[in-house]
Chain A
Amino acid sequence: MSNIKNVFDISGRAMAAQLVRLNTVASNLANAGNIAGSKEEAYKSIKPVFETKFAEHAKTSGLATVDAVEVKQVSAEPEKSFMPEHPQADSDGYVYKAAVNVDQEMVEMMEAGRQYQNNIEVISTIRALMMRTLSLGK
């Protein structure tokens, strides 16, 4: 798609971006509490980067949409805990817990869900208006 023409392009892309966000939340929550044997192996939460697309349109027509351009790993330190009896413990007896803030992820999930719903609402409203316009004069 090289251009945005109507609300289906705008809100459809935004929904795709929010879905990427929801997927990252799902991955983070699924890996919360995972234990690894070293700092490098430990899971670190991932976050999408949102960017306005067709910003050049915005100057003339006001239309712009959004894309999740990349997914980045957050530079958070995994939690180190002393569990020498753990099979994955390193030579000093430490294991590393995934660097996922569960509360933050839950808030993120709610926000992404809300915004996904907002976009659906926009599409369904405009679709209904378009259908009414098509039957104009009947």
Chain B
Amino acid sequence: MSGIKQYLDIHSQALSLRNKKNEIIASNIANAATPNYKARDLDFNMEMSRHLKTGKLTITDDKHIPLMRPVSHKGVSFREPLQQSLDGNTVELAVEQMEFSENSIRYSTTLSFLNSKISGLMSAIRGE
């Protein structure tokens, strides 16, 4: 059973991170007109490598501190605006829309990977 879990683990992790990132971008879009709101984003690569325990230095023990430590809480950090706005809001709709569509496509891709892995497993189980 743990073999199957391991087999699907990376994609399930990626899926939940992509979902989290989508929700953060949804928050940014929701707050596109709120004065002084600061746009946030999730560093997917950093979170993923934290989960996979890879980084610039290999982690062999749970007490090891990963070298790529996120600066802020749980990998969520503020986005650097391309242009400052007068009301202190750093949401740029074009940027958010682009990020959102990219992230959705990547979510779909991960889903497809998972689907084909599962169907591969199913055909191996059935032995057809």
Name A's B-contacting residues (CB within 8 A): 6-7, 10-11, 13-14, 18, 21, 50-52, 58-66, 111-112, 114-115, 118-119, 122, 125-126, 129, 132-133, 136-137
Q: Bound complex: CA of A136 vs CA of B34, how far in Å?
A: 37
> Does the CB pair A13–B30 fall under 8 Å?
yes
Query: Considering only CB atoms and an 8 Å cut-off, how many residues of chain B contact the other chain?
Result: 37
> Does the CB pair A137–B29 fall under 8 Å?
no
When A7-B22, A137-B115 are in contact, do A52 and B32 touch as well, CB less than 8 Å?
no
Residues in B with CB closer than 8 Å to A118 are 29, 32, 93, 97
What are 12 A-B contacts with C-beta separation under 8 Å? A7-B22, A50-B35, A58-B27, A62-B20, A62-B24, A64-B37, A66-B37, A119-B29, A122-B100, A125-B104, A129-B104, A132-B111
Residues in B with CB closer than 8 Å to A63 are 23-24, 27
| Tally of A-B Cβ pairs under 8 angstroms | 106
- The dominant DSSP class at the A interface is helix
> Does the CB pair A14–B30 fall under 8 Å?
yes
> Does the CB pair B40–A58 fall under 8 Å?
yes
Task: Name A6's contact: one of B23, B74, B108 (CB within 8 Å).
Answer: B23
Task: Name A51's contact: one of B34, B73, B114 (CB within 8 Å).
Answer: B34
Q: Bound complex: CA of A14 vs CA of B34, how far in Å?
A: 10
Check if B13 is an interface residue, CB within 8 A of chain A. no
> Does the CB pair A61–B111 fall under 8 Å?
no
* 6 cross-chain pairs, A with B, having the tightest CB-CB distances, nearest first: A14-B30, A62-B76, A62-B24, A137-B118, A50-B34, A62-B40
Residues in A with CB closer than 8 Å to B31 are 14, 50, 52, 64-66
Closest to A5 in B: B23
> Does the CB pair B42–A62 fall under 8 Å?
yes
